[in-house]
Chains A and B, each alone.
Chain A
Amino acid sequence: MTLVLAGTVAVLYAVGTYLLLQRTLTRIVIGLALLGHGANLLLLLAGGPPGEPPLVGEATSGVVSDPLPQAMALTAIVITFGVLAFLLALAYRSWAVSRNDEVEDDVEDRRVAAGKRASVHDEEVGQ
């Protein structure tokens, strides 16, 4: 268990979270990518001590790293990439349509929070 690796995972998570709490869509996407890197490292870290690559018949010493977390992390890398690309396409579309790449407040929620009736339908029922 290498402490410096655990520290790196923590930093990646912290910065990723910080960026995720922003308004700008680009920052959010980058934050998600950082969280993905952190998660992949964490998978590996949780999957046992480092060792030689898990290849049959190639090991020279006795210590071989666990292949299963690696398979999981590999899947995770690819999936994260798919999500990332999709989010970027969303950001692109948002820009193309409204010249805006920011996450807006939910209008309906703001109305409720301001103490107004949620919608026209509700008012009709209330009468």
Chain B
Amino acid sequence: MPAALLGLHAVVALAAPIAARRLGRRVLLLCAVAPATATVWALLHASAVVGRGEAVDVHVAWVPTAGLNGDFRLDAFALLMVLLVSGIGTLIFGYAAAYFPATKRDVGGFAAWLTIFAGAMLGLVLADNVILVFVFWELTSITSFMLIGTNHREAASRSAATQALLTTGAGGLALLGGLVVLAEAAGTYSLSGLLTAPPGGEAAAWGIALVLVGAFTKSAQVPFHAWLPAAMAAPTPVSAYLHSATMVKAGVYVIARFAPAFALLPAWRPLVVGVGVATMIVGGYRALRQHDAKLLLAYGTVSQLGFMVVMFGLGTPDATFAATTLIVAHGLFKGALFMVVGAVDVQTGTRDIRELSGLRHRMPVAFSVSCVAAASMAGLPPLLGFIAKEAAYEGVLAGELGLTGPLAVTGIVVGSALTVAYSLRFVRGVFAGPRAAAVVPRERLILVAPAALLSAASLLMGVAPLLVDALVNAAATAAHPEWETYHLSLWHGLTVALGLSAVAVAGGAALHASRARVERWQAAAPRAPSASGGYDATWRGVLAVARRTTGVVQNGSLPLYLMVILLTAVTLPGAVLVADGEWPTATYTIGSWLQIGICLLAAAAATTIAFASRRFTAVLLLGAVGYSVAALFVLHGAPDLALTQMLIETLSLVIFVLVLRHLPSRFGHRPQRIDRVVRFSTAALVGLAVFAFSLVTAGARTAAPVSQEYVARALPEGHGRNIVNVILVDFRALDTLGEIVVLVTAALGISSLVVAGRLSRHERRASAGDST
């Protein structure tokens, strides 16, 4: 069934560009069918998967020996992710249909890419084979590239798309390496199998480190986070869907899956929690500096992703449970906020909070939706975000985490205070202030409706956590088997967690109250090395090194390239030949007088060619070499070879003469770029290496030759006495067929070259006639 769902996405994506010709932007509504079907499918399985804790396994064997199988697994955690990916996806498709102007160019292509993304993300959370995980992971990177570059006529869009692709693509390679190392160490490519029996040892530690690098790039963790704010060049539906609610959670998802099995590795917690806390604080700090409401939210997303990485990364049952709640809460409030920003952008033409003023009067629905979503983001009761944050504090405080515990608590309190401050900054910046002079058209409810749905869910689930309780508990159990059901609730009594929440809210409110001073201070603070600067420097450095290397290695001289290849061929096998040092014990003879005579003739003729200054002399000498070789074949006991060699040599001579009569009689005298001595030494080295090689091969002949079988079968099966002929036309007839194909291809090429040459001469004569 998962395969059918993925197939549905593919079919819809293929059909979208065609349907768009008739439907225009409404094609996006048609595409919504795919994620909607996936949502319904997940809901149909909810009673079994969530209620009874079962998992739907689909196994399609493809190349079992290589571990390549179409394995899919729908457990409760995957189901929760499917609901987020496909559920929010369905709303986004509807929103996008209203967001774009009816005149948008190439809406069909956009719809196709967005549908492919939805399918890839669905596949990623359902895949139960590590290679399949990687394939879908890369597919989301590629679709993200295409979607960020939707406005590809703008340079900013292009460079943002490239940056996202390079960053997440490099992380994808690390992920692949890590997954393969882990799978090889565990002896299985099944993800669930790998996680139930995690491999240990040094290899596994390196593997998991690579997996983490992949997850950090995808989920925009410090220091790889710069691509995410840049990706805001994408249309807002894309930002809402890919870069807040779903794709950036792929890294979080992978950490969630791996943490319970690997969190006890010594380096895991310091690394993951350290990176997560740093990301939380950097993201929140930067969000406070932004004037573009969308960028503000983007840095907020970076911060929240850090939060999720910390919580899942701790790997304790309590923290996993809290993180699961958080991933739901974040999807709901961040999706809503992005969609509101898009609506504001469409209605007013700007997203700059310095220009926006008094929108709460003109867009009251958007204002209330934003208030609920931002409150959930800030962790205020009675919203789902508050419950998630309470669970997070309790999760950290409950675990025995050593030094990472205090680090995580401090990080979360500071990060939450920053979150409160930028949430206030967002709502106040976009909606507050006196009524602006500019006339804003009436609020388009269709643009705000999807956001309102998400915000309503935030509120309902906050007031009545029972709605989401079963799902989150089952998902946490699926992600961390040791989790025992604990019911979400708004009020836990006067706990430490509540106190920490209050501290964070108070801190955030204070930050916001003194925002003018904070902004002055931020402007005056020495600029830390920025991640986007690091990306730019890396990009320029790689290009410069590539250019310099190419300049040295590829200087344009074809003989030089050839020399490099030849010397490599001599040096590498030659070194092994010398290092092995086992000289064969074959008996060497000098050869008969006749053989010596012919050999001397061949060698002399060949050497003279090198010094010949006339083309004709060189070709005649080549003929002498060829006929000498034929004679050597006879002496060796190979009459067929000799016969063929004679015929071919004669034919070659004829062709040479046919061509040479057009060319000048002497060779040209253009100076060479490589010194004569160097060329000579290279040639001598090659000769020496071949000499040594031929000595060794003679001695290496120790096993019984394969051809004995051919000799035995030639007469009874091939009905021929000439064994060489029988081999060519009977035992190895397919090889001969291939040889004939090569000859025919060469003949076709030759005839077309010669005919084309004639034509051009004919034309030249014709044009010469015209000009006279």
- Return B360 CB to nearest CB of chain A, in Å: 43
Q: B687 touches which one: A10, A27, A75, A110 (CB < 8 A)?
A: A10
Q: Are B668 and A53 in contact (CB under 8 A)?
A: no
How far, in angstroms, from A53 to B697 measured CA to CA in the complex?
22
Mark contacts of A96-116 with chain B using CB atoms, 8 A cut-off: 1 yes-contact digit, 0 otherwise. Answer: 110001110111111011110
Let me know if B633 is at the binding interface, CB within 8 A. yes
Q: Which of A2-59 contact B (CB under 8 A)?
A: 2-24, 26-27, 30, 33-34, 37-38, 40-42, 44-46, 48, 50-58
B551 engages A112 (CB within 8 Å): yes
Question: Is there a chain B Cβ closer than 8 Å to A62's Cβ?
Answer: no
Are B723 and A81 touching (Cβ within 8 A)? no
**Is the pair A23, B559 in contact by a Cβ cutoff of 8 Å?**
yes
- A115 and B742 in contact (CB under 8 A), knowing A18-B610, A89-B749? no
Shortest CB distance A63–B (Å): 8
In the bound complex, residues from chain B placing their C-beta under 8 Å from that of A2 are 588-591, 595
Q: CA separation between A42 and B632, bound complex, in Å?
A: 12
**Given the complex, which residues of B lie within 8 Å of A27, measured CB to CB?**
618, 667
Q: Name the residue on A nearest B688 (C-beta).
A: A10
**Number of B residues whose C-beta is below 8 Å from A?**
110
Whether the Cβ atoms of A21 and B606 lie closer than 8 Å is no
Chain B nearest CB, measured from A42 CB (Å): 6
Q: Which of A23, A41, A50 contacts B668 (CB 8 A)?
A: A23
**B contacts with A: majority SS:** helix
- Chain B residue with the shortest CB-CB distance to A83: B746
**Complex contact A113–B551 (CB within 8 A):** yes
Residues A109 and B556 in contact in the complex (CB < 8 Å), given A26-B618, A45-B694, A95-B662: yes
Task: Determine whether the beta carbon of A112 is less than 8 Å from that of B566.
Answer: no
Cα of A14 to Cα of B674 in the assembled complex, Å? 17
How many angstroms between the C-alpha atoms of A16 and B659 in the bound complex? 20
User: Given the complex of chains A and B, what is the CA–CA distance between A65 and B761 in angstroms?
Assistant: 52
Other-chain contact of A90, B587, B619, B705, B753 (Cβ < 8 Å): B753
Check B606 against A4 for contact (C-beta < 8 Å): no
Which of A26, A34, A40, A54 sits near B711, CB closer than 8 Å? A54
Q: Are A33's CB and B562's CB within 8 A?
A: no
The minimal Cβ–Cβ distance linking A68 to chain B, given in whole angstroms, is 4
Shortest Cβ gap from A100 to chain B (Å): 9
* Contact B739 A102, beta carbon cutoff 8 Å: no
Does B568 lie at the interface of the complex (its beta carbon under 8 Å from any beta carbon of A)?
Answer: no
The CA of A54 and the CA of B708, in the complex, are separated in Å by 11
Look across to chain B and name the residue whose beta carbon is closest to the beta carbon of A20.
Answer: B562
Distance of A96 Cα from B755 Cα, bound (Å): 11
A30 to B61, CA, bound (A): 54
Q: Once the chains are docked, how many angstroms separate the CA of A18 from the CA of B644? A: 27
Q: Which residues of A contact B651 (CB under 8 A)?
A: 81
| Binary CB contact string for chain A from 61 to 79 against chain B (1 if under 8 A, 0 otherwise) | 0001111101101110111
Contacts A11-B606, A30-B622, A113-B551 given; does A65 touch B556 at CB 8 Å: no
What residues of B have a CB within 8 angstroms of the CB of A101 in the complex?
Answer: 663, 668
Given A14-B686, A85-B746, answer yes or no on A54-B760 (Cβ-Cβ < 8 Å): no
Q: How far is the CA of A81 from the CA of B680 in the complex (A)?
A: 26
Residue pair A66, B589 in contact (C-beta under 8 Å): no
1/0 per residue, CB under 8 A from A, across B721-749: the answer is: 11110011000100110010011011101
B763 CB to nearest A CB, Å: 11
CB-contact partner of A93 in B591, B626, B679, B757, under 8 A: B757
Name the contact of B697 in the complex, choosing from A46, A57, A64 (C-beta under 8 A): A46
| Alpha-carbon separation in the docked complex, A64 to B464 (Å) | 94
Chain B 553-568, CB-CB to A under 8 Å as 1, else 0, gives 0111111001100100
Q: Is the CB of B562 within 8 A of A34?
A: no
Partner-contacting stretch, out of B117-125, B181-189, B267-275, B634-642:
B634-642
Whole-angstrom distance between the Cβ of A49 and the nearest chain B Cβ: 9
- The listed residue (A9, A10, A44) touching B638 by CB distance below 8 A is A44
Q: Are A11 and B655 in contact (CB under 8 A)?
A: no
Q: Which residues of A contact B586 (CB under 8 A)?
A: 1
Q: Contact at A105–B557, with CB atoms within 8 Å?
A: yes
Closest-CB distance, A17 to chain B (whole angstroms): 4
- Interface footprint category on A: 35 or more
Determine if B40 is an interface residue (Cβ-Cβ < 8 Å). Answer: no
Partner of B683, one of A17, A26, A79, A83: A17
Q: How far is the CB of A18 from chain B (nearest CB, A)?
A: 4
- Flag if A21 contacts B746 (CB, 8 Å): no
Pair A11/B607 contact, Cβ less than 8 Å:
yes
Q: Which of B602, B670, B727 is A71 in contact with, Cβ under 8 Å?
A: B727
Q: Contact between B625 and A96 (Cβ–Cβ < 8 Å)?
A: no
Instruction: List the B residue with the shortest CB-CB distance to A42.
Output: B694
Task: Contact check, A54 vs B663: say whether CB atoms are below 8 A apart.
Answer: no
CA A78 – CA B728 in complex, angstroms? 12
Q: How far is the CA of A41 from the CA of B559 in the complex (A)?
A: 26
B684-721 interface code vs A (CB 8 A; 1 in, 0 out): 10111011011101110100011100110011000011
Least Cβ distance of B568 to chain A in Å? 13
The answer on a CB contact under 8 Å between A24 and B668 is yes
Nearest A-chain residue to B626, judged by Cβ: A37
CB-CB < 8 A to A89: which residues of B?
659, 749-750, 753-754
The reply to whether A6 and B715 form a contact with Cβ atoms under 8 Å apart is no
Task: Tell me if B446 counts as interface (CB < 8 A to partner A).
Answer: no
- Would you mind naming 23 contact pairs between A and B with Cβ atoms under 8 Å apart? A4-B599, A5-B595, A10-B691, A11-B602, A11-B687, A12-B602, A23-B559, A23-B670, A33-B626, A55-B721, A66-B707, A67-B710, A68-B710, A73-B638, A74-B640, A74-B641, A74-B724, A77-B644, A78-B644, A85-B747, A92-B757, A113-B555, A115-B551
Q: A26-B667, A56-B723, A86-B746 are in contact. List 17 more A-B contacts (CB 8 A).
A: A3-B589, A10-B690, A15-B610, A22-B679, A27-B618, A37-B626, A50-B636, A55-B721, A56-B721, A65-B637, A67-B707, A67-B727, A68-B727, A75-B728, A82-B746, A92-B753, A95-B662
Interface residues, chain B, with chain A CB atoms under 8 Å away: 547, 550-552, 554-559, 562-563, 566, 586-591, 595-596, 599, 602-603, 606-607, 609-610, 615, 618-619, 622, 625-626, 629, 632-633, 635-641, 644-645, 648, 651-652, 655-656, 659-660, 662-663, 667-668, 670, 672-674, 679-680, 682-684, 686-688, 690-691, 693-695, 697-699, 701, 705-707, 710-711, 714-715, 720-724, 727-728, 732, 735-736, 739, 742-743, 745-747, 749-750, 753-754, 756-758, 760-761
